Amino acid sequence: MSLTTRSRRYWLRTLSMLGACSATTTSGTIYLFSTYGPALSQRLHLTSSQANVAAIAANYGQLLSGPFFGWAADTLGPQVLSGLAAVGSFAAFSALAYTYDGTLGMPSWLLLVGYMTLVGLSSQSANMAAVTTTTKNFKQNRGSAVSLCVAFFGLSPFVLSHVSTLFFAVGDEPDTFGYLKFLSYLGLTTSLVAALSLTVVGFGPSRRYRQDIPDGFIVDRASDSSSGLLSDSHSEMTHDEDQALLGQGAGGPGYSAVPKPTQDEVDAGVSTSAPPGAVEATGSPSTQVALDPRGTLDGIDYDTARELGGLSYVRDPEAQLLALVLFLCAGIGVFYNNNIGTIVNALYFSSTDEPDPSAAQRLINHHVAVVSLGSFVGRLTIGAVTDLGKRFWGLPRSGILVVVVMGMVLSQIIAGSAENLTTLLVGSALTGLSYGFLFGIMPTLVSVWFGTKHFGANWGMTTVLNGFSGQALGAFFGYVYDSNMPDQDPSKCSRGACYRDAFVLSLAVAMLGLLAAIVLARRRGDRRRENRRLWEAQEIDHVEYVPFILAE
């Protein structure tokens, strides 16, 4: 059997990471509706409610297709999904461009809904290919790796909104047709790059975590071969050895539940049964347990991974609470992204005597960029914060999730009370940051708490309902705005009074999300304490049930 070197796995992971970032660049185009939506709505004479339905259609296409594309990522591989994303993204944005231009007729505005749905499907196909591949390729610092991948999902609107400002929002009228054509070619190119570079490399054997073996347990050399694991002079492993180390072969994770003999047993000459070739965890520097920063000999992550999938995942109370938090809080981000253009127009046109359409478009692009940059920073940093907080200070991931949701609550208070564009900019930044934190930490929680075997399908099912909350909030915003502004004249919306009631609902939804996050944190705390009790009492089979830091 061919050998796979560590160096080869490293470069394949690096190439796949670049492909994943390219794929999520395509995915991020779903958040650009506010950069072309107002001009498209004006050209096609759409009401605010119709524009909201079109924008939400993209979110529906993305989120409702999550379970299917997640399953496809687990079974068909990332190349197929990236190819579908390339074709779909090119077709969708081309159709939008030619509909705006008048080349394609539009007998009904529902045709526009169909095009936006295809935008969402393409986004999800690229996103699932990227996130699933990254999750399955990294075990060490997985939170940071996944965060880097999804960060480009948030960075994409920031960069592309600036592209719109610099190249397409010039002159008396913005060049919306040219901008949409640019997006079509961008989606085609980035998805093809992802199709050529994405591949599931797998974890490979690890040498680093030998220091994390709990005191009182031994390494089983029968499956933890010194020739490829404990010795740095050998860098190659066969596929069978990799599988054994990963706990996917017959040998399990490679740790024995046999305790070390006590001093009394040693003095009495009592021998503790151990597998052939076993060595004590404290027998050499390469396997010795290290003190963690809290000064204990623990250093184990009791947020254990349970390989759940299908109905067992859907029925799990913790999975349900996790999906509920995402359903409530992600919907707020979707609602805000889809309506920021209308909000900025209302504040701008009602505060100036000589409004300039191009200036209004640049302001919209600026707010979209701020939301996007906040999302990028949030997605990029939350993984490292979670990894380092867990490793060095023992901060529970569920507790960090509660703080993230509190940020979403604060963002709705600020954005909803803004009476000028300066205050709204603060609300936009905080909304984007909280939204990025949320989507940066959620994939890591799903993979750590429920395993990686069915991650694609699990993540798809976790996100599937988000579109409903976003649609409900967006529809309510459209209803409030249309009721107060029947003639659709934004200059009459003084200090945002025409839409402010919509933020009362979004704030209430954020508060419900905070409550669900607190309940989830309490449950996870109980689980960690029970896992530690069982492990220390040796009441479970350690070969089959190993704390996450050891198992993966």
Give residue 194's identity as a one-letter amino acid code.
A
pLDDT of the residue at 326: 92
Element (H, E) at 231: none
Give residue 445's identity as a one-letter amino acid code.
L
Establish if 293 belongs to a structural domain. no
Residue 52 CB contacts under 8 Å (≥ 6 apart), including other chains: 338, 339, 474, 475, 477, 478
Give residue 52's identity as a one-letter amino acid code.
N
pLDDT digits (tens, 9 = 90+) for 324-354: 999 999 889 888 987 888 888 888 887 777 7
Give residue 518's identity as a one-letter amino acid code.
I
Give the integer Cα–Cα distance in Å for 228 and 193. Answer: 34
Establish if 545 belongs to a structural domain. no
> Tokens at residue 99, please?
């509909």
The stretches of 203-307 forming alpha helices (DSSP H) are 239-245, 263-268
Give the integer Cα–Cα distance in Å for 295 and 531. Answer: 20
For residue 492, what is the DSSP state? G
Establish if 344 belongs to a structural domain. yes
Please report where in the chains the tokens 């069978």 appear, as a residue.
Answer: 240
The pTM of the full predicted model, rounded to 2 decimals, is 0.64
pLDDT of the residue at 374: 87
**CATH number of the domain enclosing 327:** 1.20.1250.20
Establish if 241 belongs to a structural domain. no
Establish if 382 belongs to a structural domain. yes
Give the integer Cα–Cα distance in Å for 167 and 367. Answer: 17
**Domain count for the chain:** 1
What sign does the dihedral 463-464-467-469 (CA atoms) show? negative
Annotate 356-375 with b (16+ C-beta within 10 A) or e (fewer).
ebeebbbbbbbbbbbbbbbb
Establish if 77 belongs to a structural domain. yes
Task: Tell me which residue of 199, 197, 190 sits closest to 88, measured CA to CA.
Answer: 190
pLDDT of the residue at 406: 95
Q: Residues of the chain whose pLDDT is less than 70?
A: 1-4, 139-142, 154, 202-306, 467, 534-552
Spacing of C-alpha 69 from chain mean position: 15
Establish if 404 belongs to a structural domain. yes
Q: Which CA distances in Å does 268 have to 262, 263, 264, 489, 524?
A: 10, 9, 6, 92, 43
Establish if 466 belongs to a structural domain. yes
Domain of 517 in residue numbering reads as: 4-203+309-530
Cα 46–Cα 119–Cα 26 angle in degrees, nearest 5: 130
pLDDT of the residue at 216: 35
